[in-house]
Amino acid sequence: MIHLSAITRTFHMGDQVVNALSDINLHIASGEYVSIMGPSGSGKSTLLNIIGLLDRPDSGRYELDDRLITDLPETEQAQIRREKIGFVFQSFHLIPRLTAAENIELPLVLSGIPPEQRQIRVNDALQAFELKQRASHRPAELSGGQRQRVAIARATIMRPSVILADEPTGNLDHQIGAEVMALLENLHHGGTTLIVVTHDRELGARAHRQIAMRDGKILTDQTDDAG
Amino acid sequence: MTLVDTLQTSFKTVVSYRVRSLLIILAMALGVAAVVVLTALGDGARQYVINQFSSIGTNLLVVLPGRAETSGSFLGAVLGQTPRDLTLKDAQLLGRLPQVRRYAPLNVGAAELSGANRLREVTVLGSNADLIPIRHMKLAQGGFLAHGTERNAQIVLGAKIANEFFPRSQAIGQRVRLGDSRFIVSGVLAAQGESMGFNTDEIVIIPIDYAQAMFNTTSLFRILIEAKSHNVIEPAKQAILAALKQSHDGEEDITVITQDAILATFDRILHTMTLAVAGIAAISLIVAGILVMNVMLVAVNQRTAEIGLLKAIGATSRDIRRLFFAEAVWLSFAGAILGFLLGQSGSLMLRLAYPQLPAWAPAWASIAGILVALITGVLACLWPASQAARLDAVKALSKR
Ligand SMILES: Nc1ncnc2c1ncn2[C@@H]1O[C@H](COP(=O)(O)OP(=O)(O)OP(=O)(O)O)[C@@H](O)[C@H]1O
Ligand SMILES: [Mg+2]
């Protein structure tokens, strides 16, 4: 479903040129569980952002579900983000003045789904992520694990086909991180494509396919036969 | 994102930044309130002056001796000429003009009034019976020079004087002495209070012949003319000028002032003043608009990460622009409404404090105040909103 060919992304910092991604070729099939690892600055986040349509490559082709994405206008890219892609970030990125339920509801609001339906779906999500008691709490009143659960609930409320997680456990302790990973893997078992960027070898090893990056290039790309 | 959701979401944002929102709303409100109160004051003053001026008569023309032009009187002074006096004959001549409904010759002086063991100095008006209706004066009791009594030594007392001299007994029919002459009280004016700096409660009115004898003069201070209708005020003025020019050997040595012209002048001046004051107040709205712009720019900066997140979960640039836009609309809307209410209650307090002053803000001022507030608020937001919409999602997200 995800098809990247000859993707490059270059940043210019003054006279310095940073090749964040150079000539990336990558194919990820629907329902895969992929981890991306590599040292800091190797281009993992940049790759994820391009897959998630938050960033545009300088050159190369990107096809998502057999549709050439690279040159789509902004509004259509936004629609694809809304409907097909769920983002989970290291720093949760919850809106502080909204309650847990309202944060989860946000993508539904952006899609113009009527309030009654939103209510039902948010309630289901709160139930599924064990956040029922925290529904009307603001992010500041939640623990890190709860915040990430809210973020995952928000990322999945539109039932996207791909979940992109950029170091989802980076701000959580080991135990809670493992719980959050279990939640994400659960989504994968439900059929969602899961792409996780992580520094944690142990977590990365849980993915069926492990991609290692360095200096904007894919170093290795291994798929476990088992799983 | 639907319009209702956009409005609701931005409303929640406005509510959650309580202090910030209240400050902007207050700034907007004060601007609108200033427009409303100041125009209420200006228009109230205009109404007040016009009411006062209207109350002194209807379709009134005033004839006075001398030319109003400075050059004329200057030349007259240089040549040692004094303008020809107005006489009773002139007044009678004017009374016969077809455009004139009635006329009242007028002499003014001061004399001592005595009677009922009291003595005081009073302002004396000498005139005829028509003075009362022409000047819109009202008699509380009795009459003045009713038909067949034109030559009688009658006197009309102002309300306060009647009360001072005859507090317990009926004033009508009492004998009083004014200067060296005796008069019979024929009427008492209704209390009117001060109007145009002239208190009719403390005057007395006597027939013009007696006044001229008392003050030893044959000339008149003024002739008051009431035109037959509003339409003939100007023709009446021309006729008066022509008639008196003819009887004064071809010299135009009088001035005719119409109440209408004075009213129009006051109306114009005070209306312009109200406009000017409204304009000055509106400047404070522009200042409030700049405040809104500043606050919205800060908000965009503060909420950069949030904007990035919204983009990540699928908001379009349009959604984001509209969200910030709606926020500014809410703020200016609330400010405009609050300001309108503040301004109206301010005007109400003015009216309570000064009952003579009809301090109602004109509708155009209230509407303009609210519109200017909304428009500046919305304009002030265009730039911050487009800044927000233009933010690069990745950079926005990476900002802590
Ligand atoms: N907006 C930007 N402007 C300039 N340079 C950038 C920008 N974003 C990324 N880079 C550079 O591109 C390279 C890749 O960055 P990227 O964020 O993808 O790395 P990463 O693998 O996610 O690193 P980390 O593990 O630290 O998150 C880095 O050298 C980074 O400095
Ligand atoms: Mg990164």
Say if the Cβ atoms of B9 and A83 lie within 8 Å. no
pLDDT tier at A24, thresholds 50, 70, 90: very high
Q: Whose CA is nearest to atom 3 of ligand 1?
A: A11
Residues of chain B neighbouring A155 (CB-CB closer than 8 A): 313
pLDDT at residue B200, as a whole number: 80
Residues of chain B neighbouring A111 (CB-CB closer than 8 A): 1, 314
Q: What is the mean pLDDT of chain A?
A: 93
pLDDT at residue A168, as a whole number: 94
Measured in Å, residue A64 CA sits from the centre of ligand 2 at: 22
Three-class DSSP labels, chain B: CCHHHHHHHHHHHHHHCHHHHHHHHHHHHHHHHHHHHHHHHHHHHHHHHHHHHHHCCCCEEEEEECCCCHHHHHHHHHCCCCCCCCEHHHHHHHHCCCCEEEEEEEEEEEEEEEECCEEEEEEEEEECCCHHHHCCCCEEEECCCCCCCCCCCEEEECHHHHHHHCCCCCCCCCEEEECCEEEEEEEEECCCCEECCEEHHHEEEEEHHHHHHHCCCCECCEEEEEECCHHHHHHHHHHHHHHHHHHCCCCCCEEEEEHHHHHHHHHHHHHHHHHHHHHHHHHHHHHHHHHHHHHHHHHHHHCHHHHHHHHHCCCCHHHHHHHHHHHHHHHHHHHHHHHHHHHHHHHHHHHHHCCCCCCCCCHHHHHHHHHHHHHHHHHHHHHHHHHHHHCCHHHHHHCC
Q: ipTM exceeding 0.90? A: yes
Q: Domain ranges for chain B, please list them.
A: 3-53+264-397, 104-223
In chain A, the residue whose alpha carbon lies closest to the alpha carbon of B320 is: A110
pTM for this structure? 0.77
pLDDT at residue B248, as a whole number: 79
Say if the Cβ atoms of A93 and B310 lie within 8 Å. no
Residues of chain B neighbouring A139 (CB-CB closer than 8 A): none
Q: Looking at domain A28-58+74-223, what is its CATH homologous superfamily?
A: P-loop containing nucleotide triphosphate hydrolases (3.40.50.300)
Q: What is the mean pLDDT of each run of 10 residues along chain B (400 residues)?
A: 93 92 91 91 88 82 75 50 77 89 91 88 91 86 78 87 85 88 90 71 90 89 89 88 83 83 87 89 85 88 92 93 92 93 94 89 89 88 91 84
Q: Domain ranges for chain A, please list them.
A: 28-58+74-223
pLDDT at residue B83, as a whole number: 64
Say if the Cβ atoms of B394 and A54 lie within 8 Å. yes
How close, in Å, is residue A226 to chain B by CA atoms? 33
Say if the Cβ atoms of B312 and A93 lie within 8 Å. yes
d(CA B395, CA B305): 8
Q: B138 CB less than 6 Å from ligand 1? A: no
The closest CB to that of B314, out of A55, A79, A93, belongs to: A79
pLDDT at residue A106, as a whole number: 96
Q: A9 CB less than 6 Å from ligand 1? A: no
pLDDT at residue B357, as a whole number: 87
Residues of chain A neighbouring B310 (CB-CB closer than 8 A): 106, 110
Say if the Cβ atoms of A93 and B393 lie within 8 Å. no
Residues of chain B neighbouring A91 (CB-CB closer than 8 A): 400
How close, in Å, is residue A58 to chain B by CA atoms? 15
Say if the Cβ atoms of B314 and A49 lie within 8 Å. no
The closest CB to that of B314, out of A49, A81, A95, belongs to: A81
Q: A220 CB less than 6 Å from ligand 1? A: no
Q: Which two tokens stand for residue B40?
A: 């209420």
pLDDT at residue B70, as a whole number: 47
pLDDT at residue B71, as a whole number: 47
Q: Is the pLDDT of residue A38 over 90?
A: yes
User: pLDDT tens digit string along A121-167?
Assistant: 999 999 999 999 999 999 999 999 999 999 999 999 999 999 999 99
For a pocket test of ligand 1, which of A15, A21, A36, A42 has the largest count of ligand atoms closer than 8 A to its C-beta?
A: A42
